[in-house]
C-alpha cells in the first residue's frame, strides 16, 4: 500500500510502498514503476542514483531486488522552478535569422536556470530578445545546444526550433563545429602544441574535472597561435572536443593554467611585480572567440567571431605595454580585432 505525506505545500513528497509477496524478487526500479504510473523508468532510476530511494530506511542501490515485507520509501524532490521568464538583460546579438541566433554571452552570466540561478541567465535574456526557441533542451534550457562556463564570455549559437536544434546538436556531436578560444595563460606556451589528455569528473572532488578520472573521455586542444609576453602567453586555442572545463583543465595539466582561474591554479598568490595587474581579474581570462558551423537549413558555412570584451582587452593591452617597456619590443598581436562575419 502506498501512503503519501500531507502538507501544503510540501518541500518534497514522500511515498512509502509495501512490497507484497507477489512482487518479491522484482528489480527495485521495475517495482516502483509498476506502482507509480506518473513516473518514467529513467526518472525512477535517477531518483535511486541520487539516493532518494530507501528500503527499510537504508539507501537502495540500482539493480537491487525487493523482498516480501520490504518498505520502499521514495522522496520526490520539490517541483522544478517554473518556466523561465523573459528578462530585458543586455545581450549582444551577432547573427540572427529564422532558424538560429548567435550571441556574445557576457562573463558572469549562467547559461540556463539551475539551483541558485532561477533568473538572470542567458535563457532569460534570450526569451526577451528572441521570443521563439526550440523545446528540445527542455523547459529550463530552451534552444540551448552547447554551453559556456559562467566565467567565460563569447560566441554561442542557439536554436529557434527543434529541427535546427537537432541538426546543430548533431554537428557538435560529430565534431563538425569549429571552436576557437582566446586565453591568457601563465608561462610561455609553444605555438602548434597539441594537448591530447582524456578528462572526466575528479574522483575526489566531483565539482572539478581532472585528467585522473576513472571515466575519462577523449579531449583534444590545439594551440593555434601564441603571443609570448613577459611571463604569460596570449594564446588562441582550437578544441576538437567540447568537454566540460576542457581548456582550463588541459592548460593546468601542462603547467600553464589560465590567468585568473581560481579553480585550476590560475590565481597565483604572488605574481611577478610587473604583472600585478592580473590580480584585478575576477574571472578566468578565457573567451570563446569564434564559432563556425553549417547552417541547418541551406548548408551555408557560417563563421561568427567576436573581439575580446573590454575587461580582457584592457588587461591584455596593459600586459603588452609592460612587456614592451621591459623588453623594448612590441610583439605581433596573436588576436587581431575581429567582427561578426558570414561566409556562404
- pLDDT, one tens digit per residue, over 47-76 is 999 899 999 889 998 889 999 999 999 998
- 149 part of the active site: yes
Domain count, the chain: 3
Quick one: 337 and 227 in the same domain? yes
**Neighbouring-strand partners of residue 99:** none
- Judging by DSSP bridges, how do beta strands 232-239 and 178-186 pair with one another? antiparallel
Same domain, residue pair 190 and 233 = yes
Contact 209, 244 (CB under 8 A): yes
Domain that holds residue 29: 2-77
What local confidence, expressed as pLDDT, does residue 278 receive? 84
Better-scored residue on pLDDT, 342 or 311:
311
Residues 196 and 267 in one domain: yes
Element (H, E) at 157: strand 153-159
Residues 199 and 237 in one domain: yes
CA 328, 188, 154, 306 dihedral sign is positive
Rounded Cα gap, residues 54 and 44, in angstroms: 12
| DSSP string for 62-74 | TTPBP-TT-EEEE
User: What is the widest separation between alpha-carbon atoms in the chain?
Assistant: 85
Residue 83 buriedness (CB in 10 A; 0-12 / 13-18 / 19+): exposed
The residue count of the chain comes to: 344
Q: Give the contacts of 94 (CB within 8 A, at least 6 positions apart).
A: 102, 103, 104, 155, 304, 306, 340
pLDDT of the residue at 48: 93
Mean of pLDDT values over 170-181: 96
Where a domain ends, among 174, 205, 234? 174
Of residues 40 and 299, which shows the higher confidence score?
299
Q: What is the pLDDT of residues 187-235, one digit of tens each?
A: 999 999 999 999 999 888 878 899 998 889 999 999 999 999 989 999 9
> Do 64 and 158 share a structural domain?
no
Do 186 and 258 belong to one domain?
A: yes
- Domain at 272, CATH number: 3.30.2350.10
Q: Give dist(CA 171, CA 123) in Å, integer.
A: 22
Greater confidence (38 vs 105) lies with 105
Single pTM value for the model? 0.71
pLDDT per residue as tens digits for the range 244-274: 999 999 999 999 999 999 999 878 767 777 7
Residue 142 has pLDDT above 80, yes or no: no
Are 202 and 338 in a shared domain? yes
Task: Specify the higher pLDDT residue, 284 or 327.
Answer: 284
Give yes or no: residues 240 and 316 share one domain.
Answer: yes
At residue 116, the pLDDT reads 66
CA 135 – CA 298 distance, rounded (Å): 22
101-122 mean pLDDT: 86
Poorest-pLDDT segment among 6-15, 69-78, 113-122, 246-255:
6-15
Spatial contact of 150 and 109, defined as CB atoms under 8 Å apart: yes
Catalytic residue among 23, 29, 149, 261: 149
Query: What pLDDT does 13 receive?
Result: 81
Q: Which of 32-36, 268-272, 299-303 shows the highest mean pLDDT?
A: 299-303
Amino acid at each position: 500500500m502506498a501512503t503519501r505525506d500531507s502538507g501544503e505545500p510540501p518541500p518534497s513528497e514522500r511515498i512509502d510502498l509495501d512490497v507484497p509477496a507477489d512482487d518479491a524478487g522484482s528489480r527495485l526500479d521495475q517495482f516502483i514503476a509498476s506502482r507509480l504510473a506518473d513516473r518514467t523508468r529513467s526518472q525512477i532510476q535517477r531518483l535511486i542514483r541520487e539516493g532518494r530511494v530507501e528500503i527499510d530506511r537504508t539507501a537502495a542501490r540500482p539493480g537491487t531486488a525487493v523482498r516480501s515485507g520490504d518498505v520502499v520509501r521514495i522522496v520526490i524532490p520539490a517541483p522544478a522552478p517554473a518556466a523561465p521568464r523573459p528578462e530585458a538583460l543586455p545581450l549582444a546579438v551577432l547573427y540572427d535569422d529564422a532558424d538560429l541566433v548567435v550571441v556574445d554571452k557576457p562573463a558572469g552570466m549562467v547559461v540556463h536556470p539551475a539551483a541558485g540561478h532561477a533568473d538572470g541567465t542567458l535563457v532569460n535574456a534570450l526569451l526577451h530578445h528572441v521570443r521563439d526557441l526550440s523545446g528540445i533542451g527542455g523547459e529550463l534550457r530552451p534552444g540551448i545546444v552547447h554551453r559556456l562556463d559562467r566565467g567565460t564570455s563569447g560566441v554561442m549559437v542557439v536554436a529557434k526550433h527543434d529541427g535546427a536544434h537537432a541538426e546543430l546538436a548533431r554537428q557538435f556531436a560529430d565534431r563538425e563545429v569549429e571552436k576557437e578560444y582566446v586565453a591568457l595563460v601563465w608561462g610561455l606556451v609553444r605555438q602548434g602544441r597539441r594537448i591530447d589528455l582524456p578528462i572526466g569528473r575528479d574522483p575526489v572532488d566531483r565539482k572539478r574535472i581532472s585528467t585522473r578520472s576513472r571515466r575519462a573521455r577523449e579531449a583534444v586542444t590545439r594551440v593555434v597561435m601564441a603571443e609570448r609576453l613577459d611571463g604569460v602567453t596570449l594564446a588562441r586555442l582550437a578544441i576538437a572536443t567540447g568537454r566540460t572545463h576542457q581548456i582550463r583543465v588541459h592548460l593546468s595539466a601542462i603547467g600553464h593554467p589560465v590567468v585568473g582561474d581560481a579553480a585550476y591554479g590560475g590565481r597565483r598568490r604572488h605574481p611577478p611585480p610587473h604583472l600585478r595587474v592580473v590580480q584585478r581579474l575576477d574571472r578566468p581570462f578565457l573567451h570563446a572567440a569564434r564559432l563556425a558551423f553549417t547552417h541547418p537549413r541551406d548548408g551555408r558555412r557560417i563563421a561568427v567571431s567576436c573581439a575580446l570584451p573590454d575587461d580582457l582587452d584592457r588587461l591584455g593591452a596593459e600586459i603588452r605595454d609592460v612587456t614592451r617597456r621591459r623588453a623594448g619590443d612590441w610583439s605581433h598581436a596573436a588576436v587581431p580585432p575581429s567582427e561578426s562575419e558570414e561566409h556562404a
